[in-house]
Structure 1
Amino acid sequence: MSDTMGQLNWQEGGAARSASWRSESGWPAPKKVVVADDTMNADTAYRLALEGTALLWRGDFQNARQLLSALVRRIEHKSDRARRAKAGKAPATPSEQFHRHRLQQLQRARTLAMLLIPFEAGHVIPLRRAPDVREACLEAYGPAETPYVSSLRELLGVIGAHEWRRKGVRIPALDANIHPWYGVFSPVRGEYVELVAQAPLPKAAKLAFDIGAGTGVLSAVLARRGVERVLATDMDARALGCARENIARLGLAAQVEVIQADLFPEGRAPLVVCNPPWLPGKPSSAIEYAIYDPDSRMLKGFLGGLAQHLEPGGEGWLILSDLAEHLGLRTREQLLGWIRDAGLDVVARHDVRPTHGKASDPDDPLHAARSREVTSLWRLRAIEDCTSRRSAL
């Protein structure tokens, strides 16, 4: 259990108890813990969770799920009251709205993470009406040789990820499913996949690099489009395993090689593709590394190293949403400046509007920005290989 975060200590039955602590979000073990069961009401549980007191559940598992739902309702009710109280005040800037939303998300997650579930060795839950989660936890965590404690909310995420992995996500461009692993971002936003499926390939693009491959979906699309060899890179162990499994499922292992590398593999290619995290910011959990890019590290790293890894006349494809621009987290001028400073020029840009539910949900806290979001595939070349067309953009 290499990702445990120390020990959880508590008092139970007049004796000191302890178990290994697991948190994918990287949160330390709670210092205050009380034993809870079916006799605890939701209001008491909510008050304790807000105070930072964890509830180690000893009652019926399904009742724990109901209690978690009750906590969610109380958090949402509190958020609704806060929104109504701010309704008459001066509107916040998009950046202020985003940071406020992130803080609320973090506080919500921290509160809900206070409801804890015990596990015996082998990922067995010793509670009444507990489901068999051994396969799901084994996929997410690997073997568990000793007892441990984790949050119910995290466990439900593991169970949900197991279902995603089992059923897969349909990718029209492949006419097949991609099976995401726990902790690897699922390609549910199909518009960026379609951009890669439809953009014109550079001439003689027999080799391509897929930087930050994740599930391997873009590598698979490139291979299906006729690219003879694709080198897919990632640093995350789960992503590497996930990509290899998906590539093998699709029968593309002879074309696609998945390797561990920080951004670029060695050498040059006529096509280098990257779909970095779209928002600058600090991730609060493993899965958020696919969404938040601290200090735009991956975006800047890709742009900064692209020219050195392109063959003469080759193209780099940057797939990026402009949501960060609408949220005031990055400007178009900054992005174009990073492109220019990296010795690159823009050959063309292909745009598409997202079709996911939040883009048209007026109740979403970031609706004003999401409603204007555009996802783009930027086709980039080294400046010495093309005539500048930046003014057309």
Structure 2
Amino acid sequence: MSTIHWTEGSVRRSARWHSENGTPLPRRTVVVDDRTRADDAYHHACAGTALLWRGDFHNARHLLQAMGRRIDRTPPTPGTSPAETYRLHRRDSGHRARVLGRLLVLLDDDYGLALRRAPDVRRACLEAYGPPKGPMAVSLRELLGVTGAHQWRLKGVEVPALGARVHPHYGVFAPVRGEYVDLVAEAPLPPAVRCAPAGATAFDLGTGTGVLAAVLARRGIGRVVATDISPRALVCAEENVRRLALTGRVQVWGPGLYPEGRADLVVCNPPWIPARPTGPVEQGVFDPDGAMLHGFLAGLAARLRPGGEGWLVLSDLAELLGLRTRAHLLDAVRAAHLRVVDRIDTRPRHRRSRDTTDPLHAARRAETTSLWRLTTAA
């Protein structure tokens, strides 16, 4: 267990250190409050010093924003290629996360936040972190993410394909990009499934919130097994299955990728970028070396029933950024003794595809999300 130490009023104090993205324990921590100037806080944070906030909560948020503006004074470095632009963007994003992550707050032994005008964050922290284990220091940036996720969990995300809301948990990718859900909701089912959907079985690999498993069940498939490697995702999917009254049709299984047995339809929407995530929220976007993608392809032929299909839902953003080629993907399909039956494409509708200030805007604007219908090679 990592412990952070600081001096306050000539008294040496300590608390547990927690960072969801694995940020190392700060070497030095100083106490700051409402009198601290943004320039001073920024320079301390850039030098690697953690700043433990002891003033007004809203002023802490203002300070965090002011530090962010100072980072933004340095324009993004243009790359000579899409891959170089992406690398520099990740570098700059990492620097921003490190600097802003050095503004800390102290949570009490019940997750209370003893700051003036502070909200009650205890329920949000309990959902994200589990039972408290004593006072804990976290970055304000992370805490704001935790409280934001709590609001999403309460309100849910509207999914038109379901005509209902799905409630994401902290650290579980939220279905805010509706195009991939619509692809699964509208793609033609394999002939064997269309003929007798109530007797068919589908696997939803990497289910996250369980949204695709729910879509498959609503399309009439009698048995859906939803899997994930993340314990948080498994709990989240179970809760959403209950909310949607699909407990008898959808089984949540894990942690793991493939469950036992075979299926008439196997759906996988792996993370789209073959790079390392920096925290649990990024695990829905970043897949180191494409491990989940290749795991899905390698195991698919052995898990399909005769006449069954595998549906790979994948963006070509990695290709547009020069991180993977189309030939690499098709070679992996062939190496797994699979063939492409069809490909259904859709264009992005999310806000970031229209954000011209995004360094990756050119790639996001040209992005295509595809549902690849795969079956075993003859």
Same fold per superposition (TM over 0.5): yes
CA separation in 1, counterparts of 2:351 and 2:210? 24
Alignment of 1:161-180 (within 5 A): 161-180=149-168
1:140-196 deviation line (CA, Å, top 9, x unaligned): 111113111100000000011011111111000000000000000000000000000
1:129-150 deviation line (CA, Å, top 9, x unaligned): 1110111111111111311110
Q: Secondary structure at the match of 2:154?
A: helix
1:302-330 deviation line (CA, Å, top 9, x unaligned): 00000000001110000000000000000
CA separation in 2, counterparts of 1:92 and 1:122? 50
Residue in 1 that maps onto 2:81? 93
Query: Greater CA deviation, 140-149 or 112-121?
Result: 140-149
Aligned to 2:24, which of 28, 31, 37?
28
CA separation in 1, counterparts of 2:137 and 2:312? 41
Cα shift at 1:64: 0.7
Q: 1:112–1:153: 8 Å Cα contact kept in structure 2?
A: yes
Does residue 7 (structure 1) correspond to residue 7 (structure 2)? The answer is no
1:235-273 deviation line (CA, Å, top 9, x unaligned): 111100000000100000000000104211011111000
Alignment of 1:232-381 (within 5 A): 232-381=226-375
Q: Percent identity?
A: 58
Structure 2, unmatched stretches of 5+, are 194-199
Cα shift at 1:16: 2.1
Residue in 1 that maps onto 2:57? 61
Cα shift at 1:203: 2.5
Alignment of 1:54-133 (within 5 A): 54-78=50-74, 80=75, 83=77, 92-133=80-121
1:340-370 deviation line (CA, Å, top 9, x unaligned): 0000000000000001111122221001111
Alignment of 1:89-238 (within 5 A): 92-205=80-193, 206-238=200-232
Structure 2 vs 1, CA of residues 315 and 262 (structure 1 numbering), >3 Å: closer, same or farther?
Answer: same
Aligned to 1:37, which of 19, 30, 33?
33
Q: Secondary structure at the match of 2:292?
A: helix
Q: Secondary structure at the match of 2:373?
A: strand
Q: Secondary structure at the match of 1:279?
A: coil
Q: 2:230–2:255: 8 Å Cα contact kept in structure 1?
A: no
TM-score (norm 2): 0.97
CA separation in 2, counterparts of 1:276 and 1:369? 19
CA separation in 2, counterparts of 1:261 and 1:201? 27
CA separation in 1, counterparts of 2:366 and 2:35? 48
Structure 1, unmatched stretches of 5+, are 385-393
CA separation in 2, counterparts of 1:290 and 1:156? 19
Q: 1:273–1:318: 8 Å Cα contact kept in structure 2?
A: yes
TM-score (norm 1): 0.93
Cα shift at 1:92: 1.3
Q: 2:38–2:67: 8 Å Cα contact kept in structure 1?
A: yes
CA separation in 1, counterparts of 2:115 and 2:224? 48
